[in-house]
């Protein structure tokens, strides 16, 4: 390359030596130009070399920076993923600790016996099933015994004393969690670490350890999928340098310490968000490294890439660019030599050219003449091609005879005829539509003194189709008198445009769109017919003044409309849109319109005119208003819904923060469900609307009444400073709702229960106030309905207790905490046991024996009553089979149970499984069941009756007590409620009622059972009034199934001796 540079620079000197004689000025200029070209080429070659070197240096540094960013991002991603995984395990272990506290495991001596069960084993397996990284999950007691283990049941007999996690956590001063060193399973050779948590009693005593075994191969697999390619690696280590896992898998290094490694020691302080470049680590290879420490655990993730692998693409690029730069420099310098050589040759050529110019000048004149001739012929050919093949039709007409002289192919296509047919004696009047001939003839006569004109015409083709055309007519020859002799017409087919304009006119009419043009200087507005119709003006009033144009605009919208126009003009906006309302002149109807305008300005920015369209958007705005109303209001009652209530509540809270108090009132309707179920949903909907009207009349205009759903309402009572104001409203609401309703021909009596929360005393948060009012409502219903209650802080505690009771109930059936007790039923005539009633009891591990009225309603609410009822039914049938004397067994069915479609199948299954004779099973239902869907209820009762079981009507006389129930279904028994039995020894009215019921049932072939018999006087009154059976503490309290045989023997023996049976001990 250097030789080329030297040659390029020396050539001018050698050229000067070779030249014969003194150089001419032209030759001297050539030599200087050659030297300059050589110098520039050399400088350019040097610049390319320097630029290439600088670029490659920058690219190398960029490649290393990119690698630093990649390993930093990889370490961050892996640290976040590992931290989340470890936190999930810690949350699981904390959940186990909370569960143990809830279960009362607080004694080290109880730890192993209570937690080494299969139930605990299955519970642990279920909790870790979704954690593939956990190979085993286990509990260890305070003596190191393996208590429960997800790997097998029972747990392997392994003692954890000596394990680093157990020895560390049993120390009272140790942290709650510990991450162990790696250990290798002797069975399958897999490496694991253990994340363990200390378990302690409330008094701080050490109970044991809950630990999760984490498979280190799991991390290696994840690292392998996330690494950055060849030469990359990932390590997971504790902060003390102990290596846990990595990729590639460091089998021989697992469990070894990297604390002495210089690279690890230098990198650890940067584990927050730093990187480093290492000249050589443990493997002697230069690397780019990044470390990320986990915030929640003593772990560090180290990601790295080998520098050789990072720079491999750069080296390839460097070789390519170096070779390219060398080739380019060579080409540049070779080009300089070539250009200089060509310059010498051009100098010689110039001399020859000067000699040729004179000869060429003489030949040029002859060539110009030939060129002009060829150009004239080409123009003639072009004109002929345009005439024959143009997109427009062309026709030449003799103005005297009005016949075609010449037509092109396109004109023949437009008129639907051949060129020969048109030139065979036809003229323009023969091809246009007959209805247009007079107009065209008049246009020709009026324009004969002009040289050209334009017009539109309709052509009628022979096949009956019509073509609209735009004609441009020119006079190309006149006679001596100046009359037209020859015309040429250029014809454009505009049929599609006419059809589009027709469709546009139709869409304007159908779509209620009017158009206008406003001449601002003249102060007039030209309106189309659609616009006039929209304004309610006669169609003839096309030109309006500005006052007439703005007159229909509603006064409240006019100012905003003019302001919008002024703003657009001031900003010189080319287009704009504004919406306003108008009142039509014809009928006074108010319409919503949207105007879209395009403005034109002069050179000084003054508006000249505006064109636009006005769209009638009334239906759209009305639909939007309806949608907005439905989004914030209840569809049935028209009241505000939860969304609008929340907005009003937020506004009231804003005022409350400025010192203005208010109250939140929640109410629902008592006995609404019974009405809805018995009379049907249409009646229920009508009742809700009637209730709404009464509630609206009871509240003020400043209050907000909303329906929350079902039969639940809420009121935001504004300007409440004293609870007495809310009390006055609550009393008024109870009174108005408690008055009878006439609904669809039915007289309905319902009530309401009310809960009240007052702001700011009960809170300044919408959710808190609604929750407080709801809790007060719940307490009001629990106190007997038809009442109101203000929120009190202890209500929250009661609700917490209720939720705790609900949680315990959901576990009670699975844990076998329910029991069936049996109370004998005595025949009044014989005093012998005729049957036993099955009564469910709950033996709570903490509360003891819980009576049914404390948990049955809650079971019905949470849906537990169906499985509980089926269990009681199966248990009672199975135990009744073992009783001597074959007494009947009575089982209660709740209304919720009865509504279950599988009831009949459940009864049949219990009978079949136990082998009990169907006639010995007696099912007791309440009057509430009869209030449900009557036809469906009767169908279910008849299906049960078909099984052979007996049906009893329980608690007769306490509810609606409609005699139609006894008429519509043949019950086997009627049970008289204890409230009538209790008054037999001192109330004549009770005895009269009992006598009436027993007489009625005797006439219907039904037996009667009196409940709650506690004295001999009550028993004698029942016998005197014809009651069939009696039940109560006079004979026996409910007893366990194991006590039934002894109870039956005692009562029957007493009956045989005509001796009153003493009450059994409690």
Q: Which helix (H) or strand (E) holds 491?
A: strand 484-493
Could you tell me the CATH number of the domain that includes residue 751?
Answer: 3.30.70.270
**What local confidence, expressed as pLDDT, does residue 944 receive?**
94
| Banded pLDDT at 186 (limits 50, 70, 90) | low
Mean pLDDT, residues 708-720: 92
Hey, what are 917's tokens?
A: 């004779």
Per-residue CA distances from 727 to 408, 433, 605, 739, 790 (Å): 99, 90, 69, 19, 9
* In a shared domain, residues 816 and 940: yes
Q: CA 127, CA 47: separation in Å to the nearest integer?
A: 70
Q: CA 392, CA 206: separation in Å to the nearest integer?
A: 104
**What local confidence, expressed as pLDDT, does residue 15 receive?**
47
Last residue in a domain, options 618, 645, 672: 618
Q: CA 259, CA 277: separation in Å to the nearest integer?
A: 19
- DSSP H helical ranges for 301-436: 307-389, 409-415, 419-422, 428-431
SS3 265: helix
Q: Which helix (H) or strand (E) holds 712?
A: strand 712-717
* In a shared domain, residues 463 and 574: no
| pTM of the predicted structure, to 2 decimals | 0.40
Domain housing 396 = 388-498
Q: What is the DSSP letter of 633?
A: B
Last residue in a domain, options 467, 498, 529: 498
Hey, what are 378's tokens?
A: 């080409």
Residues in CB range of 1029: below 8 A, 6 or more apart: 825, 826, 827, 828, 834, 835, 973, 1007, 1008, 1009, 1010
Hey, what are 1042's tokens?
A: 């194991």
Hey, what are 919's tokens?
A: 């006639």
* In a shared domain, residues 878 and 1009: yes
Could you tell me the CATH number of the domain that includes residue 450?
Answer: 3.30.450.20
SS3 97: helix
Residue-wise pLDDT tens digits, 439-475: 888 887 877 788 888 888 889 899 888 888 998 898 8
**What local confidence, expressed as pLDDT, does residue 281 receive?**
59
* In a shared domain, residues 952 and 1052: yes
Q: CA 234, CA 218: separation in Å to the nearest integer?
A: 13
The top-scoring range by mean pLDDT among 224-228, 764-768, 979-983 is 764-768
Last residue in a domain, options 557, 589, 618: 618
Q: Which has the higher per-residue pLDDT, 334 or 701?
A: 701
| Banded pLDDT at 1060 (limits 50, 70, 90) | very low
* In a shared domain, residues 1025 and 885: yes
**What local confidence, expressed as pLDDT, does residue 959 receive?**
54
Mean pLDDT of the chain: 83
| Residue 1028 pLDDT exceeds 90 | yes
Among 299-303, 824-828, 831-835, the range scoring the smallest mean pLDDT is 299-303
Q: CA 303, CA 288: separation in Å to the nearest integer?
A: 8
Is residue 719 a part of any domain in this protein?
yes
Is residue 295 a part of any domain in this protein?
no
CA 895 to chain centre: 38
**What local confidence, expressed as pLDDT, does residue 921 receive?**
97
299-306/232-238 β-pairing = antiparallel
Is residue 639 a part of any domain in this protein?
yes
Q: Which has the higher per-residue pLDDT, 732 or 1062?
A: 732
Task: State the total domains in the chain.
Answer: 4
**What local confidence, expressed as pLDDT, does residue 823 receive?**
97
Residues in CB range of 914: below 8 A, 6 or more apart: 874, 877, 878, 880, 881
**What local confidence, expressed as pLDDT, does residue 380 receive?**
59
- CA proximity to 843, closest of 835, 834, 852: 852
The top-scoring range by mean pLDDT among 43-57, 62-76, 673-687, 1031-1045 is 1031-1045
* In a shared domain, residues 838 and 978: yes
Q: Which helix (H) or strand (E) holds 757?
A: strand 751-759
Hey, what are 789's tokens?
A: 């209650």
Q: CA 222, CA 226: separation in Å to the nearest integer?
A: 6
Angle at alpha carbon of residue 385, lines to 382 and 389, rounded to 5°: 145
CA atoms within 13 A on the CB side of 673: 8
* In a shared domain, residues 867 and 758: no
Could you tell me the CATH number of the domain that includes residue 818?
Answer: 3.20.20.450
The length of the chain in residues reads 1066
| Residue 608 pLDDT exceeds 90 | no
Q: Which has the higher per-residue pLDDT, 666 or 54?
A: 666
Mean pLDDT, residues 421-444: 88
Per-residue CA distances from 463 to 417, 459, 721 (Å): 10, 11, 91
Residue-wise pLDDT tens digits, 774-790: 989 988 887 777 899 99
Other C-beta atoms lying within 10 Å of the C-beta of residue 177? 21
* In a shared domain, residues 517 and 491: no
Is residue 28 a part of any domain in this protein?
no
- What is the DSSP track for 643-680? HHHHHHHHHHHHHHTTT--EEEEEEEEETHHHHHHHH-
* In a shared domain, residues 598 and 659: no
Residue-wise pLDDT tens digits, 919-936: 999 999 987 777 665 677
| Residue 382 pLDDT exceeds 60 | no
Question: pLDDT > 70: what percent of the chain?
Answer: 87
Per-residue CA distances from 147 to 109, 143, 815, 977 (Å): 12, 10, 21, 54
Q: Which has the higher per-residue pLDDT, 260 or 71?
A: 71
Is residue 932 a part of any domain in this protein?
yes
Q: Do the Cβ atoms of 1015 and 1043 come closer than 8 Å?
A: no
Hey, what are 256's tokens?
A: 């070894």
| Banded pLDDT at 1059 (limits 50, 70, 90) | very low
Q: Which residue has the tokens 């004779």?
A: 917
Q: CA 538, CA 825: separation in Å to the nearest integer?
A: 94
Residues in CB range of 29: below 8 A, 6 or more apart: none
Q: Which residue has the tokens 């199975």?
A: 878
Residue-wise pLDDT tens digits, 116-175: 899 889 888 888 887 877 888 999 999 899 999 988 899 888 888 888 888 888 886 767
The top-scoring range by mean pLDDT among 358-372, 533-547, 723-737 is 723-737
Q: CA 950, CA 975: separation in Å to the nearest integer?
A: 13
First CA to last CA distance, the chain: 120
Q: Do the Cβ atoms of 115 and 148 come closer than 8 Å?
A: yes
SS3 readout for 332-364: HHHHHHHHHHHHHHHHHHHHHHHHHHHHHHHHH
Q: Do the Cβ atoms of 487 and 474 come closer than 8 Å?
A: yes
**What local confidence, expressed as pLDDT, does residue 283 receive?**
61
**What local confidence, expressed as pLDDT, does residue 677 receive?**
75
Q: Which residue has the tokens 């350890």?
A: 209
* In a shared domain, residues 772 and 655: yes
Q: Which residue has the tokens 């809830």?
A: 102
- What is the DSSP track for 973-1010? EEEEPHHHHTTTTT-HHHHHHHHHHHHHHHHTT-EEEE
Mean pLDDT, residues 75-87: 79
Hey, what are 303's tokens?
A: 């990601």
Q: Which has the higher per-residue pLDDT, 797 or 313?
A: 313
Residues in CB range of 677: below 8 A, 6 or more apart: 931, 932, 933
Q: CA 370, CA 365: separation in Å to the nearest integer?
A: 9
* In a shared domain, residues 464 and 520: no
- CA proximity to 982, closest of 1014, 958, 1027, 1028: 1014
Q: CA 491, CA 488: separation in Å to the nearest integer?
A: 10
Q: Which residue has the tokens 């005595």?
A: 826
Q: Do the Cβ atoms of 306 and 232 come closer than 8 Å?
A: yes
Range 829-859 burial, b when 16+ CB lie within 10 A, else e:
eebbbbbbbbbbbbebeeeeebeeeebbeeb
Q: What is the largest CA-CA distance in the chain?
A: 170
Phi, psi of 899 (to 5 degrees): -75, -10
Q: Do the Cβ atoms of 394 and 490 come closer than 8 Å?
A: yes
Helix (H) and strand (E) counts for the chain? 34, 39
Q: Which residues pair with 704 in a beta bridge?
A: 716
Is residue 557 a part of any domain in this protein?
yes
Residue-wise pLDDT tens digits, 1032-1054: 999 999 999 999 999 999 999 99
Q: CA 749, CA 252: separation in Å to the nearest integer?
A: 85
Q: Do the Cβ atoms of 823 and 1036 come closer than 8 Å?
A: yes
Is residue 459 a part of any domain in this protein?
yes
Residue-wise pLDDT tens digits, 390-409: 678 999 999 889 899 999 99
Q: Which residues pair with 600 in a beta bridge?
A: 609
| Residue 721 pLDDT exceeds 60 | yes
* In a shared domain, residues 771 and 703: yes
**What local confidence, expressed as pLDDT, does residue 1050 receive?**
94
**What local confidence, expressed as pLDDT, does residue 1062 receive?**
42
Is residue 275 a part of any domain in this protein?
no
Write the Ramachandran bin of 229: left for phi over 0, alpha for psi from -120 to 50, otherwise beta.
left
Mean pLDDT, residues 947-961: 80
Question: Taking the CA atoms of the chain, what radius of gyration do you get in angstroms?
Answer: 52
């Amino acid at each position: 390359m250097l030789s080329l540079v030297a040659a390029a620079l020396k050539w001018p000197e050698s050229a000067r030596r070779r030249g014969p004689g003194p150089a001419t000025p032209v030759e001297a200029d050539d030599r200087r130009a050659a030297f300059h070209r050589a110098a520039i080429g050399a400088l350019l070659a040097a610049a390319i070399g320097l630029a290439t070197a600088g670029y490659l240096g920058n690219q190398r540094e960029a490649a290393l920076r990119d690698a630093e960013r990649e390993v930093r991002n990889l370490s961050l991603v892996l640290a976040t993923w590992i931290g989340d995984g470890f936190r999930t395990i810690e949350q699981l272990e904390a959940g186990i600790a909370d569960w143990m506290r809830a279960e009362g495991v607080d004694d080290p001596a109880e730890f192993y016996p209570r937690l080494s069960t299969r139930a605990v084993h299955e519970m642990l397996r279920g909790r870790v099933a979704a954690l593939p990284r956990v190979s085993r999950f286990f509990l260890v007691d305070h003596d190191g015994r393996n208590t429960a283990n997800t790997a097998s049941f029972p747990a392997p007999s392994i003692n954890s004393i000596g394990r680093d996690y157990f020895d560390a956590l049993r120390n009272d001063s140790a942290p709650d969690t510990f991450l162990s060193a790696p250990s290798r399973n002797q069975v399958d050779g897999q490496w694991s670490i253990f994340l363990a948590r200390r378990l302690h009693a409330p008094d701080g005593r050490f109970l044991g350890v809950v630990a999760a075994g984490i498979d280190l191969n799991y991390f290696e697999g994840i690292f392998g999928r996330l690494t950055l390619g060849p030469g990359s690696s990932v390590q997971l280590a504790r902060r003390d340098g102990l290596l846990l896992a990595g990729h590639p898998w460091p089998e021989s290094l697992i469990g070894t310490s990297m604390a002495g490694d210089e690279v690890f020691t230098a990198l650890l302080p940067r584990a927050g968000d730093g990187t480093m470049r290492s000249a050589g680590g443990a493997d002697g290879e230069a690397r780019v490294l990044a470390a990320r420490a986990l915030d929640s655990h003593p772990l560090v993730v180290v990601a790295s890439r080998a520098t050789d692998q990072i720079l491999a693409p750069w080296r390839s690029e460097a070789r390519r660019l170096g070779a390219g730069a060398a080739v380019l420099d060579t080409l540049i310098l070779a080009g300089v030599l070539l250009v200089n050589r060509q310059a010498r040759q051009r100098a010689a050529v110039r001399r020859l050219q000067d000699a040729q110019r004179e000869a060429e000048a003489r030949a040029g004149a002859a060539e110009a003449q030939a060129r002009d001739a060829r150009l004239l012929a080409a123009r003639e050919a072009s004109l002929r091609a345009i005439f024959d093949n143009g997109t427009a039709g062309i026709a030449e007409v003799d103005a005297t005879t009005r016949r075609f002289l010449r037509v092109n192919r396109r004109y023949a296509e437009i008129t639907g005829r051949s060129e020969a047919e048109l030139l065979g004696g036809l003229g323009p009047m023969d091809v246009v539509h007959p209805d247009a001939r007079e107009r065209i003839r008049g246009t020709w006569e009026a324009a004969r003194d002009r040289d050209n004109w334009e017009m539109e015409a309709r052509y009628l083709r022979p096949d009956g189709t019509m073509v609209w055309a735009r004609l441009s007519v020119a006079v190309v020859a006149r006679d001596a008198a100046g009359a037209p002799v020859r015309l040429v017409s250029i014809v454009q087919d505009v049929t599609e445009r006419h059809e589009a304009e027709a469709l546009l006119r139709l869409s304007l009419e159908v779509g209620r769109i009017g158009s206008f043009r406003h001449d601002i200087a003249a102060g007039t507005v030209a309106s189309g017919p659609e616009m006039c119709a929209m304004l309610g003006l006669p169609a003839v009033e096309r030109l309006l003044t500005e006052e007439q144009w703005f007159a229909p605009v509603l006064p409240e919208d006019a100012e905003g409309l003019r302001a919008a126009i002024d703003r657009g003009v001031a900003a010189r906006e080319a287009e704009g849109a504004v919406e306003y309302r108008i009142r039509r002149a014809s009928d006074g109807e108010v319409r919503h319109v949207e105007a879209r305008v395009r403005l034109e300005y002069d050179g000084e920015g003054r508006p000249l005119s505006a064109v636009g369209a006005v769209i009638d958007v009334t239906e759209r705005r009305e639909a939007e208003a309806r949608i907005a109303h439905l989004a914030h209001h209840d569809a049935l009652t028209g009241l505000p819904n939860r969304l609008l209530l929340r907005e009003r509540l937020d506004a009231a809270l804003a005022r409350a923060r400025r010192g203005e108090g208010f109250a939140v009132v929640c109410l629902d309707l008592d006995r609404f469900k019974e009405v809805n179920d018995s009379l049907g949903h249409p009646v229920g909907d009508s009742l809700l609307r009637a209730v709404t009207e009464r509630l609206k009349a009871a509240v003020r205009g400043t209050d907000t009444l909303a329906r929350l759903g079902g039969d639940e309402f809420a009121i935001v009572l504004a300007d409440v400073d004293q609870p007495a104001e809310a009390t006055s409203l609550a009393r008024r609401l109870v009174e108005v709702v408690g008055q009878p309703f006439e609904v669809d021909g039915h007289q309905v009596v319902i009530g309401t229960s009310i809960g009240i929360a007052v702001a700011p005393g009960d809170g300044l948060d919408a959710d808190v106030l609604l929750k407080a009012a709801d809790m007060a409502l719940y307490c009001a219903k629990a106190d007997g309905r038809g009442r109101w209650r203000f929120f009190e802080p202890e209500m929250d505690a009661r609700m917490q207790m209720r939720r705790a009771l609900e949680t315990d109930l959901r576990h009670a059936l699975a844990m076998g905490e329910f029991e069936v007790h049996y109370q004998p039923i005595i025949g009044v005539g014989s005093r012998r046991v005729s049957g036993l009633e099955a009564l469910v009891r709950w033996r709570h591990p903490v509360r003891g024996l819980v009576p049914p009225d404390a948990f049955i309603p809650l079971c019905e609410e949470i849906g537990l009553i169906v499985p509980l009822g089926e269990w009681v039914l199966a248990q009672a049938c199975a135990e009744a089979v073992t009783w001597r004397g074959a007494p009947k067994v009575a089982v209660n069915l709740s209304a919720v149970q009865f509504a279950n479609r599988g009831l009949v199948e459940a009864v049949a299954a219990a009978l079949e499984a136990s082998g009990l004779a169907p006639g010995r099973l007696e099912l007791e239902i309440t009057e509430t069941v009869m209030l449900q869907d009557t036809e469906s209820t009767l169908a279910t009762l008849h299906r049960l009756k078909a099984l052979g079981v007996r049906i009893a009507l329980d608690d007769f006389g306490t509810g609606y007590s409609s005699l139609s129930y006894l008429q519509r279904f043949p019950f086997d028994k009627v049970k008289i409620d204890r409230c009538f039995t209790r008054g037999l020894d001192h109330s004549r009215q009770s005895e009269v009622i009992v006598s009436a019921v027993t007489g009625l049932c005797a006439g219907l072939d039904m037996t009667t059972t009196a409940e709650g018999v506690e004295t001999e006087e009550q028993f004698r009154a029942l016998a005197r009034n014809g009651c069939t059976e009696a039940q109560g503490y006079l004979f026996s309290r409910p007893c366990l199934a194991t006590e039934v045989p002894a109870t039956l023997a005692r009562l029957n023996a007493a009956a045989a001796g005509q001796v009153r049976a003493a009450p059994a001990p409690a």
